[in-house]
Amino acid sequence: MDKKLIVFCPNPYSLYTNTVCELLLRKGYHIELIVVRKFTLQRFKNEFARDGKRLLRKIWNKLVLREKAYTDKADSIVSFRRDNNLSITNITQFQKQGTKILRCRNLNDKSIEKALNQYDEKLVIFTGGGIIRKNILDRAGDGIINCHLGILPKYKGMDLPEWCLLEDEPDQLGITLHFMDTGIDTGDILRKVKVVPKQPDSIRSLRSGFEPVMVTEMVRVVSDYLNGKVERQPQPKSNKRQYFILHPKLYEIAEAKLKQLVES
Amino acid sequence: MLSPMKRPISFPIDSNKLDYLRRSKQFPLLNTKYLDDVPDTAVEPFDLALKDYPKFKNTQAEDLIKLRLMVHQNELNERFRNWQIKLLRYIEINYANLKTKERSYGRPVAVRVILFNQLLALFVEIYLHTGDLLYFNTALKVADLKWAAPANKSPKDIYLLREIKEKQIEAILNELTHG
């Protein structure tokens, strides 16, 4: 029996979600269901409590400006989409291919449990939307694949590219495709990919440069997993170290280190 | 054992100063790096045994002083590590709501100020001892908490502790920036 592909998504306009889904379609895969979070006041309050003022900039860039947020010429998801003639910018467009859309307040809602229970064999692709709890993880079939912006098992948590630079470990810049579990970035690893920065002039453009790698590797690992070409590798349980949001003063130092790295 | 992320910065201290610092209860001036003099704040000794980590709302300044002494004496055992990770995670995960949580715990403002300044000192000293920038990162965030800065009714020692830690923070940032 073919596994059903289900995608979890933070908002209907997510460039990452739309790009991954369109690439999967091009490879001949059918996306059975996209689960997308609604915009609610409670969601805003929760995310603001977690991210503070960073959330406002995130909302402005991702929901208001969208592709226009990418004004420089650096490698980014926008340049990747342009180079690959990718055009879908709203998940509702996938409905034409028979994809169902389910809107929810929270990715851990009972409605998601019910939706997942409808399918025996499934694989979930996480493209954003918040923490996933055990009730959903237990119903996710083979599991939920995430693209983590750091090389696991060492770099768990947040702001990992910045931490790599700060700790003078630029060779640890990269991504990890892994299954999610109840821990923070502790699930089984599918693939690690190092990313070599292409002359970025800032951390922002460094991060933009990760985006094309994230989408291509996510699609590649999903395809390889479904074809039995990649195996899950459990992470050692002993390493629980987690990184947190970088203080602005240390962010400046990380950025200075990036500039030195590029110049050398 | 913690593995240092960077070259750890060691701080020189002779045995007279060590004994002097142990005697200080409210304000052990541990870690004399970047300091020219150690002010006179001698008081009675207290029980150095550290209990298991309680919830943060039950943590006292005295617990943090004990932890600072353990850093100073390089006694980073399993109990110490458990405390340090739990304190770090508590501050980081609850950072946006720390003030609200503190109010709900009902700690008097003066006690809260002493607690958070000892916490700031602890995180700075863990960084200086181990080179682990995770703790310095959190120290910077604690230093940013305006409501936890020494206030009018704070003991003089806490102002001095704060001043010393801010001086150390500035020196560390300078060292990180210029190598």
> Considering only CB atoms, which chain A residues are within 8 Å of B92?
244-245
pLDDT of amino acid B46: 53
> Considering only CB atoms, which chain B residues are within 8 Å of A52?
96
| Angle (deg, nearest 10), helices B109-130 and B61-72 | 20
Helix (H) or strand (E) holding A248: helix A248-263
| Angle (deg, nearest 10), helices B78-93 and B109-130 | 120
Q: Is the per-residue pLDDT at B31 higher than 70?
A: no
Distance from CA of residue B74 to its chain's centroid?
15
Residue-averaged pLDDT of chain A: 91
What is the CATH classification number for the domain harbouring A163? Answer: 3.40.50.12230
Q: How many CB atoms lie within 10 A of CB A100?
A: 14
User: Are B140 and A249 a contacting pair at CB < 8 A?
Assistant: yes
B151: in domain: yes
pLDDT of amino acid A141: 94
B153: in domain: yes
Helix (H) or strand (E) holding A192: strand A189-194
- Quote the number of domains for chain B: 1
Region label for A199, one of left (φ > 0), alpha (ψ between -120 and 50) or beta (otherwise): left
Q: Which domain holds residue B92?
A: 60-178
Q: Are strands A100-104 and A122-126 parallel, antiparallel or unpaired?
A: unpaired
- pLDDT tier at B161 (50, 70, 90 boundaries)? confident
Q: Is B154 exposed, middle or buried (0-12, 13-18, 19+ CB in 10 A)?
A: middle
Nearest to B173 among A242, A246, A249 (CB): A249
B170: in domain: yes
Q: Which of A133, A106, A91 is nearest to A45 (CA)?
A: A106
Chain B residue whose CA is closest to A168? B6
Lowest mean pLDDT among A209-213, A259-263, B7-11, B33-37: B7-11
Q: Which of A184, A163, A94 is nearest to B6 (CA)?
A: A163
- Quote the number of domains for chain A: 1
Q: Is B38 exposed, middle or buried (0-12, 13-18, 19+ CB in 10 A)?
A: middle
What is the per-residue pLDDT across A201-234, written as a single tens digit (0 to 9) for each? 899 889 999 999 999 999 999 999 999 999 999 9
pTM over 0.90: no
User: Are B173 and A247 a contacting pair at CB < 8 A?
Assistant: no
Q: Determine the residue among A167, A252, A259, A261 to mutate to test chain B binding: the one whose Cβ has the most chain B Cβ atoms within 10 Å.
A: A167
B166: in domain: yes
Residue found under tokens 């503070």:
A52
* C-alpha span between A159 and A161 (Å, rounded): 6
* C-alpha span between A55 and A171 (Å, rounded): 29
pLDDT of amino acid B43: 45
pLDDT of amino acid B4: 36
Buried b (16+ CB within 10 A) or exposed e, A218-232: bbbbbbbbbeeebee
Q: Which domain holds residue A82?
A: 4-263
Chain A residue whose CA is closest to B3? A241
State the DSSP code for B5: S
What is the per-residue pLDDT across A46-99, written as a single tens digit (0 to 9) for each? 778 777 777 888 788 777 877 777 766 668 899 999 999 999 999 999 999 999
Return the top range by mean pLDDT from A230-234, B48-52, B157-161: A230-234
Q: Is the per-residue pLDDT at B14 higher than 50?
A: no
What is the per-residue pLDDT across B115-147, written as a single tens digit (0 to 9) for each? 999 999 999 999 999 999 999 999 999 999 999
pLDDT of amino acid B84: 95
Q: Which of A109, A258, A107 is nearest to A169 (CA)?
A: A258
* C-alpha span between A151 and A144 (Å, rounded): 18
What is the per-residue pLDDT across A114-137, written as a single tens digit (0 to 9) for each? 999 999 899 999 999 888 999 999
User: Are B5 and A167 a contacting pair at CB < 8 A?
Assistant: yes
Using DSSP's 3-state secondary structure scheme, residue A102 falls into strand
